Structure 1
Amino acid sequence: MRGQPLATWLPGKYQLPLLGPWLHLKEVALLFSWLGCLYDLTIWLFLWWRKSRGLAYVAVLAFHLLTYVLFPRIGMFPAIMICGTLIFFSEGWHQRVLSWLPGSSFASDGPTAKTTPLARQKLITYGLGLYLAVQLCLPLRYLAFPGNLFWHEQGYRFSWRVMLMEKNGYTSVILRDPATHRQHEVRQEAYLTPFQRQQMRS
């Protein structure tokens, strides 16, 4: 690993407090790359194990908050992962949290055992099986499209690829009066935020 693409991206974040002065170093890009790799490969194990779950979730918070600070264009992904990771916590933990909400019907003395009818169990099993099949097949659909995936992008979304490429371009908006044939270029910064202009270019 050569620390790419972080070695290219991180120096542009020099204005960040505390971290900024260090982000131009190649060693920092390598460190972030390896730590990110280790995080992705092992975090689920620490979340699975009850004794390490709390510290692992702190690592989840740190990782995704840092990701958002460094790459705000990533959008809702950090928030979704922070919330989605709570699935590793026990049923009792979720019920205790929900019991704090006003008007909650969850008792604070722990979960109660309930029996599920056989037909409903089968429905849940088949539903989960279908869901898992979709989650497995959807990321692989890009194989059905010929050509360079990173050029035509058919099947790129939901294909287990995160921030593997970046596109930039130039946009201009021209207003033309059909009656007088006069035209002028619109100053986009007068109507769009910097984030909106960036989204148009990428």
Structure 2
Amino acid sequence: MWDKFLFKRIDNSPLLIFRIFFGILISLECYGAIITGWVKRTLIDPQFTFTFIGFEWLQPLPGIGMYVYFFAMGTLGIFIALGYKYRFSIISFTLLWTAVYLMQKTSYNNHYYLLILISAIMIFLPANADYALDAKKDPAKRTQTMAAYVKWIIIFQLFIVYTFAAIAKMYGDWLDFIFIKVLMAPKADYAIIGDLLQQHWVHIIIGSAGILFDLLIVPALLWKPTRKVAFVAAIFFHLFNSIVFQIGIFPYLSIAFMVFFFDPETIRSIFFKKRIPLQTDEIQIPQNRLLLLSAMGIYFLIQLALPIRHHFIKDDVLWTEEGHRMSWRMMLRSRTGTISFKVVNKADGSFKFASLDDYLSRSQQRKIAAYPDFIWQFTQHLKKEAAENGKEVSVYITSRVSINGKSLRTFIDPKVDLAAEPWRHFSHHSWIMPSQKQLSN
């Protein structure tokens, strides 16, 4: 049964058209990052870059280097869309995009992470088997079919994304719509819809629809009787997100994924009308079947484990942020805070307060005030800077954080010398003060 489910040959039209959409969208993302000034604000102007911890060696290129970097990625996107030197192009893009993702997290976004995953998956898929310059150059490699597992890999990845996103929303501030109110407050000056977005009944609709959409969209698209309605709902949902939240290509990439849910023949008849309809029930089991299934199993076990890892770390992830990233906890909370860094010279006890304006951009300062890994990294930077000047220092933090507009609470233990603390990727940091939830237990 599983062999038929995974290895039956089906029309590859969904994969081909997705490759074209995908290439165009990542080109727009990369060229747009240059045009809108994102590259300049995020990777060129800041004198200190918050990398993912452990990847401090990944730093932005000097001068105009990052403009060239993003232009190269955008051009690779065009190559992917055209199916030109596809394997080289998709591998190169995946590596370059992963590197830029790891070298900065001030502008962390879940769709940046999703782009890594989809790009990595696309490396192994025969997306240039037709309607590609590669196939035109070498007609012998042209084919109209693909194994059914190709579409199921994409669908299951999306199921993981949406399902964990729905589960994450099932907490107090979302269910009583407090966070929705906070989320919509900055949108009050939007033309036409600004005032509407401030209405409580709209918050109820948005909050309820957010959970229901994430929870039901994949099953609804898979079931033929609800597929068309789900498709229309998905278009409305993602366009609404694009207009209101302005989150780049993610809404349009989500719409592009929909091609995998429709019958391949339907996709062929819409996008590739000149193609001969495919008629085959062939099941083609690859020689590396066990290796292929093992690789898919390991990959999806990791994808299932990452979003639940915070349950094995002490305290509430909403407060500590430990286990938040790469877990599809999307648009889930608003964090603000105040912070100061007291740098004490161990030799004579003299101290000074670090001026954040001397080191960080405004967006970086907003992050460092409320996120523990940013705080720890900047502390280590101050320690290193002092060491380069022949000084050994301790660094003490005064930090207060507000989540979803609630009252400020002490976030970092002010008695701990954070410069002396190690970073732990998979366990709790005791210098983060307990959450109210933890205190009540």
Over aligned residue pairs, what C-alpha RMSD do you find?
3.1
Cα distance in 2 for residues equivalent to 1:107 and 1:113: 18
Higher-strand-fraction structure: 2
Q: TM-score, with normalisation over the residues of structure 2? A: 0.35
Count of matched residue pairs: 177
Counterpart of 1:87, as a letter, is: F
Residue of structure 2 aligned with 1:201, choices 362, 366, 369: 366
Q: Does 1:80 align with 2:256?
A: no
Alignment of 1:1-202 (within 5 A): 1-72=175-246, 74-96=247-269, 99=272, 107-110=275-278, 112-117=280-285, 119-168=287-336, 172-174=356-358, 197-198=362-363, 201-202=366-367
**Offset of residue 75 of structure 1:** 4.6
CA contact (8 A) 1:92 1:111 kept: no
Q: Greater relative contact order: 1 or 2 (C-alpha under 8 angstroms, separation 6 or more)?
A: 2
Gaps spanning 5+ residues in structure 1: where? 101-105, 176-185, 189-196
Gaps spanning 5+ residues in structure 2: where? 1-174, 339-354, 368-441
**Offset of residue 29 of structure 1:** 0.6
Q: Deviations over 1:53-109 (max 9, x none)?
A: 22311211111121122222x454423322333321223344445636xxxxx9332
Cα distance in 2 for residues equivalent to 1:20 and 1:64: 18
Name the % identity: 27
CA contact (8 A) 1:3 1:33 kept: yes
Provide the secondary structure at the position in 1 that maps to 2:243.
helix
Cα distance in 2 for residues equivalent to 1:136 and 1:16: 38
Provide the secondary structure at the position in 1 that maps to 2:195.
helix
**Offset of residue 27 of structure 1:** 1.2
Q: TM-score, with normalisation over the residues of structure 1? A: 0.70
CA contact (8 A) 1:99 1:108 kept: no
Seen in structure 2, the aligned counterparts of structure 1 residues 56 and 13 have a Cα distance that, compared at 3 Å, is same
Cα distance in 1 for residues equivalent to 2:249 and 2:325: 15
**Offset of residue 160 of structure 1:** 3.6
Provide the secondary structure at the position in 1 that maps to 2:208.
helix
Cα distance in 1 for residues equivalent to 2:317 and 2:236: 32
